[in-house]
Amino acid sequence: MKKKILVFGHSGNLGSNFVHFLKDSYKFILNVHETKIYFSNAEYIKFKKNDFSNKLDYLKKKIKEISPDIILNTAASVNLDFCEKYPERSVFANVILPTRLALICRDLKIKFVHISTDHLYKSIRPFKNESFSVKKVNNYSSQKIKAEKNIKKINNKALIIRTNFFSHKNNSDQLVYKVQNFLKNKKKINLFNDYFFTPIYSKYLVKIINFLIKKNFNGIFNVVSNERVSKYDFCKILVKEKQAFKDFVVVSKIKDSNLHTKRCTDLSLSNTKIRKILNFKIPTLSSQIKEFITNDKKILKDLSVNFPYGRHSINSKDLNAVKKVLKSGSLTQGKFIEDLENEVCNYLGVKYSIAVSSATAGLHLSYIALNINKNNKIITTPNTFLSTSNAALFCNSKPSFTDISSETLGMCPEILDQSLKKEKNIGVVVPVHFGGLAANSKKIFNISKNRGLNIVEDAAHAFGAKYECGAKVGSCKYSDLSVFSFHPVKILAGGEGGIITTNNKKLYEILISLRSHGIRKDDQVKNIKTGYTNKVKNIWYYEMNKLGYHYRQTDIHSGLIISQLKRVNQFLKKRNQLTKIYDQEFFNKINIKLVQNQFRDLSSNHLYVIKIDFKNIHINRNDFMKKLRKYNIISQVHYIPVPMQYFYKKLGYSMKYLNNTKDYYNQCLSIPLYFDLKFNEQKYVIDSIKELTKEI
């Protein structure tokens, strides 16, 4: 069975690399401070600062429950200036935490591994060994010395590592990345050629710590490279862009600098003790650096896995599909557009479809085709993306808004009925299938048709969704036109793109023409004189007979969407599974309320939204989202109600009579939902949200 390691500081420069390199060797339990990195096999726990202050018994009990074999402490407050300025704030991480852990480990017979530093000396003698006398140079060094002393006194089985390392963790506090960022931004940077150290690549540091743990060594070990280099020379080997290095690096001397915090100028440690016991050789610094550079991109990627609210899924068949278009000879106005239109018609069970450049374009053309203009209006819901109503503004028409149903988050038939009694000059009703749910479509259809109104469904989210009767959204069973989006976060990703569907031939013909400048190429041209020779239409002749737009889709987009369509049922199934797991996990919580959960089997499940009682958890939504980001979870708000937008406010819109929307908006948050989200990744998201909403 794998040994259990409880790690403090897992998201730091060494902690993250330690877990990465040994993820298959141990069972990891990672303490979460403010940031969190996703590791597929790890478990997470959250100790609070209070847990460490007084109640040692409580803490001991908590750690006993976890029952780790090893506790690794890589947590520290390492910014020298910060420690100098606020010693009372850095003392917790640098002294109190390690001391307490050492004590608990002694009492519970857990192996304690503590990461110290090379910043422990006043003397500038090179290659100091483990018994060289330590002396405070600044607050940081004094705190690290204190921690070492405490640990040694309390726990003679503890392992203390003195080191200086370079690791895969792209933040500015690491010299490696700091220099690269300066060079990238063509900014000058000073590097000292009289400030020495013995840095080791985290891969070898981790390997050696693992070796020491396995062989159960105690006491202090210097774990560093064989070579002593200046900061300048180290970076010179490391930076690939030699010319930029020459241009932007300024060689300077620490002795001439006016750094805020005093430093010892030779941090180099002797690794003789460790070399004697190791059963492998520490590679030369230059080969370590080479290896670091080779691994860097991939490891940084592994360490920054994040979870957006939505993401497209592209496989090799999609890549081939696009390649096929690129090789076909026509990038636009070719056969792939027609192929897509046919396939969509077959899938949805509808007579006609018109591929367009976006759903926004599709909505605009639909409103034009249904004669929306300055004298009439569309009516839609405020809980939508701007496109739904902007497309009406494009037609010089002022859209109207009717409140949503709190249950479906889409159009509410009863409220619509009331709105239509009050509103004049409505020409088109536009239900938005929010999140992929087309609830109440039949009722909305009947209410609208009884008044002789047309219906355009904003089905941007709803590819693959069904009505209560089982027919697919897009079959136009309850509408004149349906409009879908192929924006990448949607069910099918086309890059950009949209499609309109209809069973009405006349509308179809108008839309085909409007999509391409209002041009007709068929035989129904008006200008017989120029269009015809001997009563036969001229092969070169094209005729614009109304003002149209350039809203065509390219074959490249169509090719990709055709390929995505082949997987649509897989996409829908996985989304459905994920939503049901979320529903189960968030059911009956005090601070989280489920929405749309009664309708998962009808919906295409484009979004997973929860309502959070931010007041009750004493945090505003923005700070909550920021906390989620520190866990690499990227949430979003769908939507800022359209009438609240600055532009709309200036047009005179307000949220009067839109209370359901307002109430929903104040609490909503969309959390990750996409085909490639793995179930154990989803668990990470769920646990993080439960933790931050105080549900665990």
Binding footprint of ligand PLP on the chain (CB under 6 A):
358-360, 384-385, 387-388, 432, 458, 460-461, 485, 487, 498
Minimum distance, C-beta of residue 597 to ligand PLP, in the bound complex (Å) = 20
Residue closer to ligand PLP, measured from CB, 304 or 645: 645
Write the burial class of residue 637 (CB in 10 Å: 0-12 exposed, 13-18 middle, 19+ buried): middle
Q: How far apart are CA 275 and CA 208, in angstroms?
A: 10
Minimum distance, C-beta of residue 460 to ligand PLP, in the bound complex (Å) = 3
Residue closer to ligand PLP, measured from CB, 288 or 389: 389
Q: Tokens 């140079």 correspond to what residue?
A: 137
Instruction: List the structure tokens of 227.
Output: 């070579």
Minimum distance, C-beta of residue 32 to ligand PLP, in the bound complex (Å) = 33
The alpha-helical segments, DSSP class H, found in 423-554 are 441-450, 505-515, 528-531
Provide the CA 638 distance to its chain's centre, in angstroms.
Answer: 16
Minimum distance, C-beta of residue 385 to ligand PLP, in the bound complex (Å) = 3
Residue closer to ligand PLP, measured from CB, 104 or 361: 361
Residue closer to ligand PLP, measured from CB, 162 or 433: 433
Q: How far apart are CA 575 and CA 242, in angstroms?
A: 49
Residue closer to ligand PLP, measured from CB, 141 or 387: 387
Q: How far apart are CA 489 and CA 504, in angstroms?
A: 29
Minimum distance, C-beta of residue 324 to ligand PLP, in the bound complex (Å) = 24
Q: Please, what sign has the CA dihedral across residues 224, 229, 231, 233? A: negative
Give, to the nearest 10 degrees, the angle between helix 285-303 and helix 231-238. 70
Q: How far apart are CA 609 and CA 600, in angstroms?
A: 12
Write the burial class of residue 502 (CB in 10 Å: 0-12 exposed, 13-18 middle, 19+ buried): buried
Which residues does residue 127 pair with via DSSP β-bridges, in sequence order? Answer: none
Q: How far apart are CA 284 and CA 213, in angstroms?
A: 23
Residue closer to ligand PLP, measured from CB, 292 or 639: 639
Closest Cα partner for 392 from 416, 411, 376, 409? 376
Minimum distance, C-beta of residue 479 to ligand PLP, in the bound complex (Å) = 14
Minimum distance, C-beta of residue 181 to ligand PLP, in the bound complex (Å) = 34
Q: How far apart are CA 280 and CA 574, in angstroms?
A: 47
Residue closer to ligand PLP, measured from CB, 29 or 562: 562
Q: How far apart are CA 523 and CA 564, in angstroms?
A: 35
Minimum distance, C-beta of residue 409 to ligand PLP, in the bound complex (Å) = 11
Closest Cα partner for 53 from 15, 99, 12, 9? 99
The Cα-based distances of 570 to 110, 114, 561, 676 in angstroms read 47, 48, 15, 11
Residue closer to ligand PLP, measured from CB, 203 or 364: 364
Write the burial class of residue 547 (CB in 10 Å: 0-12 exposed, 13-18 middle, 19+ buried): exposed
Q: How many helices (H) and strands (E) does the chain have?
A: 27, 29
Cis peptide before 86 (omega within 30 of 0): no
Q: Please, what sign has the CA dihedral across residues 385, 387, 388, 389? A: positive
Closest Cα partner for 106 from 61, 72, 154, 71? 154
Residue closer to ligand PLP, measured from CB, 205 or 409: 409
- C-alpha triplet 56, 57, 60: angle, nearest 5°: 85
Element (H, E) at 38: none
The alpha-helical segments, DSSP class H, found in 566-678 are 568-586, 621-630, 646-650, 659-667
DSSP 174: S
Residue closer to ligand PLP, measured from CB, 461 or 477: 461
Q: How far apart are CA 306 and CA 647, in angstroms?
A: 33
